[in-house]
Amino acid sequence: MFFSIVIPTYNRSKLITGTIQSVLMQSYPHFEILVIDDGSTDNTEEVVNSISDKRIRYFKKANEERAAARNYGTMRAKGHYITFLDSDDILSPNFLKEALAMCDRENNPEWFHIRYMITDDMDNVLARKHIYNNNDPNKRLFYEGNFISCIGVFLRKDIALENLFNEDRRLTISEDHELWMRLAIKYPLKINKLVSAKLIQHDHRSVGNRDVSGLILCKEISLEIVFSNPASREYIRGHEGQVIASSYSYISLHMALTGQLKLQAISYTLKAIKSDPAYLFTRRFLATIKHLLFTYS
């Protein structure tokens, strides 16, 4: 048992079968699937238990959000490496084979990431996550935000157990980024450039449905954690403005995408520019301006 795939889920009975089947179709067979049902009220349990494969382990617990569900799975995982898969994401058949090759090439690193693409629910490619060779991925997690998301991240089990997700529910949607920043201070992030996973953009994704006030609070708490940690303060010394601008710009883009909060979006865009004038030359700034100009009537 080399890999443990932890799948937290909540009321995704109509989507989770495809996710699980994509794991079962892996060309590398030595893995387990831990489905952590975070208090679903639909027929998720029935759907999961209808899939007959001894590598699937199903657990149901009280609803405590994704961070707690992932930690629950981590503490029960048997694999040497743990990866987290949302219950609406899809893996390519070579995903674990590439992960194994990465472990061999990098001498069992503490953590690494395999790239993914973003598609719509009709399988049209919307984007591929880009990794730039000339930029330090560890620093980018602070200065540019969560460019790796959660899909495709592998943690060696000992590292995962020593560095659990923060279970503060107010951090939901940024709980993975908060952990990645903690890890980035300690261990180099290795990147596999091959795209072998798929994040599906659909109307029911929790990130897109997060209310704006909750998003603002989430980002404020995340910044508070970064700046209250002596290790992270030292790590970002001289670049504090970039870290703040990254959070403000994320908020402004989210607001711009709603098509309803133009003034607030402009306000947070100006805050981001004040924190780091170089934000004016980023792709996120351009995307925000585009939506401010064309999303609003």
Closest CA to 31 of 54, 15, 60: 54
Domain boundaries, the chain: 3-201, 212-294
- Please write the tens of the pLDDT for every residue from 167-188: 999 998 899 999 999 999 999 9
Whether the predicted pLDDT of 132 surpasses 90: no
Contact (CB, 8 A) for 74 and 158: no
What does the pLDDT read at residue 138? 95
Cα–Cα dist 56/69, whole Å: 16
Beta strands in 193-287 (DSSP E): 197-201
**Cα R_g (the chain), whole angstroms:** 19
Contact (CB, 8 A) for 161 and 83: no
State which CATH number among 1.20.1630.10, 3.30.830.10, 3.30.70.20, 3.90.550.10 fits the domain covering 3-201: 3.90.550.10
Contacts of 99 (CB under 8 A, 6+ apart): 3, 28, 81, 83, 112, 114, 154, 192
- Please write the tens of the pLDDT for every residue from 39-51: 999 999 999 999 9
